[in-house]
Structures are given as structure tokens and as C-alpha cells.
Amino acid sequence: MTYRVCFVCTGNICRSPMAEYVFRARVAEAGLAERVEIDSAGTGGWHEGEAADPRTVAVLRDGGYDCDHVARRFQPSWFARRDLVIALDAGHLRDLRRLAPTEDDARKVRLLRAYARRSPGALAPDEPPVDDLDVPDPYYGGPDGFEECLEMVEEASAGLLAAVREHLEGRAA
């Protein structure tokens, strides 16, 4: 069975595509590419149809990641086709949980950095306070902000991969 993960930020041109491509690489390295589908979207439609921000593409390329991305907006109907929806900050977490058609769908929404702050485990952890778990929006800053964002995404991806792998193994058992 395929496990589906969607990363969500504001406009789907900086943080969420960065998370998508980093996590896609981690999943491929783990040999799980055929079992895990990864995509991304934004809470708003301002950049629909646009490529990722050139600074995102540059920092990903410098980090050894590919990025061939077109922005889109997250739709509530997508919850039915996603197992996990990863928010990049607390505002996205709130927005996505409000969009969720059901309580079960709302429980699918998690903060990315929650996976960097806990040992690998269940996909429904009790999250620590959200004020320090945001991946800051680098859009209005310089290259340093994009590099910091990449570091946060890479750190959290390891824990997220461990959690997804654990879930897949539980399904297989």
C-alpha cells in the first residue's frame, strides 16, 4: 500500500517544495520510493502555476537536490488521498486543521519540526509547544534564510522518515 505525504506552506514556492524534494531524496535513499508518494502545496493560491522561488532552487541544487516544481494550492478534498499533511509553521497547522473535512483528517496534520524534536515513533505524537517549531519563511530575506530553512528541513526529514518507515512496517505486519 502507498503512503502519501503532502508538505504545505503559504505559497508553495519556498518551504514546502524544499521539504518535498529533501524528503523525496531521503525516501529514495531508504529504498521506499515505490511505497511513499510525496507532494506539496500552499495554503494560498498566489503563486499557482509558478516555479519554485529561484533561491529555493539554488539552495536545493547546492545541497545536491533536484527541483522541478510547479506551485499549487491545497484543496480540502485532498485529505481523503493523503495519509499525512505536514505544515511548515503553526499558521499553516491551524489553517489546514480548519480546512479538514473531518476530525480524522485534522489529525493527519503535523508540524514538520516536531519530527526533529522527538525520537522516531508514532505518527501522532503529542507535539510540544508550537512557538519554537516553525520553519521561518525565507521569502522576504536573503540567501541565509533559505540555507537555514534547508538545514531545518533536513534535520526534521530524518525523524519524519523514521516515523513513516515505522508506520509502513506496521502496515506490512
pLDDT over threshold 70, residue 104: yes
Active-site residue (options: 73, 95, 107, 137)? 137
Strands (E), the chain: 3-9, 36-42, 84-87, 109-111
pLDDT over threshold 80, residue 123: no
Is 9 among the residues known to form the active site?
A: yes
pLDDT over threshold 90, residue 94: yes
**Any idea what the Cα angle at residue 145 is, between residues 143 and 151, rounded to 5°?**
105
How high is the pLDDT of residue 3? 97
pLDDT over threshold 60, residue 125: no
Closest-CA residue to 154 (of 25, 53, 42, 46): 25
Band of residue 117 on the pLDDT scale cut at 50, 70, 90: low
Active-site residue (options: 9, 14, 67, 149)? 9
Q: What dihedral do alpha carbons 71, 74, 80, 85 form, nearest 10°?
A: 90
Active-site residue (options: 6, 15, 39, 83)? 15
Cα separation, 63 vs 52, in Å, equals: 16
State the cell numbers at 86.
Answer: 505536514
* Residues 6+ away with beta carbon under 8 Å from 92: 8, 9, 10, 43
pLDDT over threshold 90, residue 35: yes
For all residues of the chain together, what is the average pLDDT?
92
How high is the pLDDT of residue 124? 47
pLDDT over threshold 50, residue 121: no
Domains delineated in the chain = 3-172 (3.40.50.2300)
Cα separation, 68 vs 73, in Å, equals: 17
Band of residue 128 on the pLDDT scale cut at 50, 70, 90: very low
Cα separation, 143 vs 158, in Å, equals: 24
**DSSP state at residue 123:** S
Band of residue 173 on the pLDDT scale cut at 50, 70, 90: very low
Is 137 among the residues known to form the active site?
A: yes
How high is the pLDDT of residue 132? 77
pLDDT over threshold 60, residue 22: yes
* Residues 6+ away with beta carbon under 8 Å from 16: 7, 8, 9, 40, 41, 42, 88
